[in-house]
Amino acid sequence: MHSAAAPGLTFRDATDADVDALVALIQSAYRGDESRAGWTTEADILEGQRTDPEGVVEVIESPDSRLLTVERDGRIVACCQLEHRGEHAYFGMFAVSPTQQGAGLGKAVIAEAERQARETWGVSEMHMTVISVREDLIAWYERRGYRRTGRMSPFPYGDERFGIPQRADLQFELLVKQLG
């Protein structure tokens, strides 16, 4: 599906055939030296993997979840998870190719995700969790209308499926946006 708000982009639900490309995209946006080409890198606070094929397949196959995949010129350049959780939707697994960051692609993706969650599920709020020390990323979400709640949840220390923490103060903060 093409979006009038984002010319040149195609939005579609991920399939099993996309798993390897999506894992590589998510990894490149957050971890390792490749992630340093963009501004969303977590390379200084987490090493190891950001996700794995099993985690991506779980999102694709979950009945209450979608993995919105964004293509430009036939190549996957971004993705995000949308999950229906009753009165709200959850936004996660958001990744934009590091070489495509800073040009408005992330703004277009989050706007389309919010639109789809509103229209598909009739939800009035979008929730997400962000590592609380990621002040630059939280500020970006605040400029998109998300507000900090101060509600924290623990980082899964010891579970290397989510990475290897490089500091001891990691936790997730819930951010919420009212969808108009």
Summarised one tens digit per residue, pLDDT across range 133-160 is 999 999 999 999 999 999 999 999 998 8
**What letter does residue 2 receive in the DSSP assignment?**
E
The pLDDT of residue 32 is 81
Q: Which three-class secondary structure state does DSSP give residue 33?
A: helix
**b/e code 120-131 from CB counts within 10 Å (16+ = b):** ebebeebbbbbb
| Average pLDDT score over residue span 122-131 | 97
With a cut of 60, say whether residue 42 has pLDDT above it: yes
80 membership: H or E segment, kind and range: strand 75-85
For residues 82 and 68, is the Cβ–Cβ distance under 8 A? Answer: yes
With a cut of 80, say whether residue 115 has pLDDT above it: yes
The pLDDT of residue 98 is 93
The pLDDT of residue 36 is 87
Q: Among residues of the chain, what percentage have pLDDT more than 70?
A: 97
d(CA 68, CA 90): 13
For residues 10 and 70, is the Cβ–Cβ distance under 8 A? Answer: yes
Residue-averaged pLDDT of the chain = 93
- Condensed to tens digits (0 to 9), the pLDDT of residues 53-108 reads 999 999 999 999 999 999 999 999 999 999 999 999 999 999 999 999 989 999 99
The pLDDT of residue 22 is 98
Closest to 80 (Cα-Cα) out of 119, 38, 37, 51:
51
Rounded to 10 deg, the angle between the 53-61 and 19-30 helix axes is: 120
Q: How confident is the model at residue 127 (pLDDT cuts 50, 70, 90)?
A: very high
Q: How confident is the model at residue 40 (pLDDT cuts 50, 70, 90)?
A: confident
d(CA 126, CA 5): 20
The pLDDT of residue 2 is 57
Give the residue, 36 or 144, on which the prediction is more confident.
144
Q: Which three-class secondary structure state does DSSP give residue 138?
A: helix
With a cut of 60, say whether residue 5 has pLDDT above it: no
Q: Among residues of the chain, what percentage have pLDDT more than 90?
A: 81
CA atoms within 13 A on the CB side of 31: 18
Structure tokens at 168: 């001891």
d(CA 59, CA 62): 5
